[in-house]
Amino acid sequence: MLALLLTHASITDKLVTFATNVVGDLGLAGVFVLMFFESACIPIPSEATMLFAGFNVHKGDYALVEVVLVGSLANLAGSWLAYAIGYYGRVDLLEKHGRKLHIKPEHLAWADRWFTRHGGATVFFARMLPIIRTFISLPAGVARMPFWRFSVLTLLGCVPWVFALAFIGDQAGNNWTKWKDSLHYVDYAVVALVVVGLALLVVRRRRDRGSDDTAAAQREPAADAPSP
């Protein structure tokens, strides 16, 4: 776990430098490009992008409302790309070749049921979680969540996150880098939760498989027994 977090930190630091350079060189256009890709399953840290954009608001380069609008719309546009990949890739990849990836039809059916029941809340709240917000649009597309409902909830979830980061960067002023570094701990917590969640899913799947094998073994002698 420690190695994973340290690796994540080293990668994130390089991406932070990249993000600040892009925003510094391109301004609002750079904010749009970075936030677009961040929402399209490319893990460019939105914390660095929006905090630095907020710092530029502090300097008077542009208004806070401009930054929030550009960042939110970029996130929405990027989410459409990830959604489309999940939506159309389901047919071409998952349904045809899913078994090679250990994805069964029942897994897709479960995803459909989940997003039918809880998809709205999942998309909305996931947009406010580091790391997870980057990838949530893909499973929403796989589950065929209604497009306009997905779009509205995505935008509503993006605005608070984008506003909060830009506002913090504006208020922090020249100390924005300290805020950025402190947010690493939030990332670490999310990574840890994801790892624990995946581990629990693996353990549960193995237990279910073991139960199925036991049940099958108990049925076999009965099937082989001679009829009276």
pLDDT in tens, 56-109: 888 888 899 999 999 999 999 999 999 998 888 765 555 554 454 455 566 566
Length of the chain in terms of residues written: 228
Distances (CA, A) of 162 to 128, 175, 187, 197: 9, 18, 16, 26
Do 48 and 21 form a contact (C-beta atoms < 8 A)? no
Residue closest to 38 by CA, chosen among 50, 27, 54: 50
For the segment 146-165, the average pLDDT, to the nearest whole number, is 93
C-alpha–C-alpha distance, residues 33 and 224, integer Å:
65
pTM: 0.68
pLDDT in tens, 189-206: 555 555 555 565 566 666
C-alpha–C-alpha distance, residues 23 and 33, integer Å:
9
